[in-house]
Chains A and B, each alone.
Chain A
């Protein structure tokens, strides 16, 4: 299966620790997105890459959050000095520009973060 993969699937950490998540998009997809989802809510946009360039960041993305996509392939999302409010599901999605059929975003299984 060549879908979007995310690692780890689950992460439990103590407040104040740093965590890093990885996303591997579908191989030919040039766009990559990070979203955050809390219980009972729809996902909220965090940031977006086209190839290796980070084109948009949400105001939700405080200076404790940083995302990279070196070489335009996989991406990492790091949270420094985690807080309990960071507990959520972190979802990654990828897409390929398609001007004819429209651009479907394909989501990975998510990384569930719990900050104690």
Chain B
């Protein structure tokens, strides 16, 4: 079945470090891919998305490229800030399924 695998957390980085959170997927058909973020005490919000192969989603300095050949959608940011501390979820949806399939989430801790 369809699934998403994310790197285990927590990931602890110093401010201004480079961030990569790995996400790979298994899906039938042509999925759309999403990164959602959950800040402490807040709800889930979309960070970025890509709906077809080679698309790059970007927002707030974060980027992810939909790689069909490696079935990946890794999240990157060049210089993280303390305010980026949150839990990041990779997810996919496929047509005719009408649901988001989630990775386990990666907790990111940024130290000043």
Does A associate with B in a complex?
no
- On A, residues with C-beta under 8 Å from B are none
